[in-house]
């Protein structure tokens, strides 16, 4: 087996899973000796009847760790800083653990008072939130990983998608990475997150509805038709390989936005073959490298791109027949020194305005290839 998987428990009972691809990696036996007490319980989700969506209310997250100094990083291996971290081992390849400050968790502190009505629906925020540490190197980035290590992250995403999607309370699994303070990260260490929602979030529900309507009308997958159209026109294609295609979407909303889609129709990450995962590791690293060369400063020094990267997969319990996997990478950086703010139009009514033509973004990403 290429990756060794080891599941352990932290001091408060949360699960931690090591994914080791180093052949001589030591057995993961270190104990978490911190006096953590009971694990944090999630709060509640409340139904917004005005738009038909749920909102998590998680007051305990106000106390979560915020941009600590390197020697107090909770994602570095224990023993490398001044305090014990969330990872008891002194080194690791890739590690996943339940978030200490979860929006959704297997346990909830919410108890109904019995006075709800159809306009004030609420229920426990049952689900799971996990942290994915891509490397033990605090100063690194996903883009700096080896292809082998990126493949291990992909395997970890697939593993967690399968396990979390099988939980009875989970309806949607979303793997994502936030990078850069401009995006709002609270920890500098290279990491991502996985949210296992107890409902299908509005964006995912919208994607599913559009996919269902297209399939009922044409008998074809919407994602496949969009990819075919982009491959036909070619002007927004960034990378094209045997198994994957990266392109800037025709109606991109963000200043810099790229979609990465498999050539084969698959609903989620676990459905990818070994060959598709190997190719994905190479293509994704290529794409992230281009993003980091997209902007340069006055001295021609590349400016590291802040971004959100999220995997859109089929919901856990529905829609597999019409859903098609794709990655969306988006950035708020609209010039080397200017950010795109979601102000009145975008935040108020969802009316997006993009100052940068998608064709220009695609041309620049092709230009910075290596």
pLDDT in tens, 78-123: 999 889 999 999 999 999 999 999 999 999 988 877 667 889 999 9
**Which of 229, 259, 262 lies closest to 244, judged by CA?**
262
Q: Which domain covers residue 122, as residue numbers?
A: 4-199
Identify the domain boundary among 167, 182, 199: 199
Which residues are part of the catalytic machinery? 191
The residue among 148, 169, 199 that closes a domain is 199
Condensed to tens digits (0 to 9), the pLDDT of residues 224-279 reads 999 999 999 999 999 999 999 999 999 999 999 999 999 999 999 999 999 999 99
Q: What is the distance between the alpha carbons of residues 201 and 203, in angstroms, rounded to a whole number?
A: 6
Whether the CB-CB separation of 17 and 81 falls below 8 Å is answered with no
Among 30-44, 54-68, 245-259, name the one with the lowest average pLDDT.
54-68
- Give how many domains the chain has, as a whole number: 2
Which of 199, 224, 255 is the C-terminal boundary of a domain?
Answer: 199
Q: Decide: 356 and 255 in contact? Cβ < 8 Å.
A: yes
Is the pTM here over 0.95, yes or no?
yes
Find out whether 94 and 132 touch, Cβ atoms under 8 Å.
yes
Spatial separation of the C-alpha atoms in residues 3 and 22, rounded to whole Å: 8
Are both 332 and 258 inside the same structural domain?
yes
* CATH number for position 322: 3.30.428.10
In angstroms, the Cα distances linking 142 to 146, 344, 365 are 9, 33, 18
């Amino acid at each position: 087996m290429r990756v060794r998987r080891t599941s352990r428990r932290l001091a408060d009972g949360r699960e931690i899973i090591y994914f080791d691809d180093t052949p001589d990696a030591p057995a993961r036996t270190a104990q978490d000796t911190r006096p953590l007490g009971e694990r944090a319980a999630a709060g509640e989700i409340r139904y917004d009847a005005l738009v038909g969506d749920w909102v998590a209310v998680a007051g305990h997250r106000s106390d979560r760790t915020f941009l600590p100094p390197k020697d107090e990083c909770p994602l570095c291996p224990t023993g490398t800083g001044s305090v014990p971290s969330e990872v008891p081992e002194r080194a690791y390849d890739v590690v996943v653990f339940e978030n200490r400050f979860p929006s959704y968790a297997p346990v909830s502190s919410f108890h109904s008072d019995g006075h709800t009505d159809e306009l004030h629906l609420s229920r426990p925020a049952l689900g799971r939130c996990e942290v994915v540490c891509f490397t033990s190197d605090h100063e690194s980035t996903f883009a700096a990983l080896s292809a082998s290590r990126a493949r291990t992250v992909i395997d970890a995403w697939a593993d967690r998608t399968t396990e979390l999607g099988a939980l009875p309370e989970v309806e949607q699994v979303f793997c994502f990475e936030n990078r850069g303070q401009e995006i709002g990260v609270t920890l500098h260490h290279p990491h991502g997150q996985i949210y296992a929602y107890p409902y299908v979030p509005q964006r995912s529900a919208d994607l599913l509805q559009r996919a269902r309507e297209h399939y009922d009308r044409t008998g074809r997958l919407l994602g496949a038709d969009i990819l075919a159209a982009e491959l036909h026109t070619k002007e927004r294609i960034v990378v094209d390989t045997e198994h994957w295609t990266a392109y800037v979407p025709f109606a991109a909303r963000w200043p810099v936005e790229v979609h990465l889609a498999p050539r084969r129709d698959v609903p989620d990450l676990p459905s990818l073959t070994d060959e598709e995962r190997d190719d994905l590791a190479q293509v994704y690293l290529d794409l992230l490298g281009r993003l980091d060369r997209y902007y340069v400063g006055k001295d021609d020094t590349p400016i590291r791109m802040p971004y959100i990267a999220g995997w859109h997969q089929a919901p856990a319990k529905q829609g597999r027949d019409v859903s098609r996997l794709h990655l969306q990478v988006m950035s708020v950086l609209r010039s080397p020194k200017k950010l795109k703010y979601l102000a009145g139009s975008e935040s108020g009514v969802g009316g997006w305005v993009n100052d940068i033509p998608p064709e220009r973004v695609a041309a620049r990403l092709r230009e910075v290839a290596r």
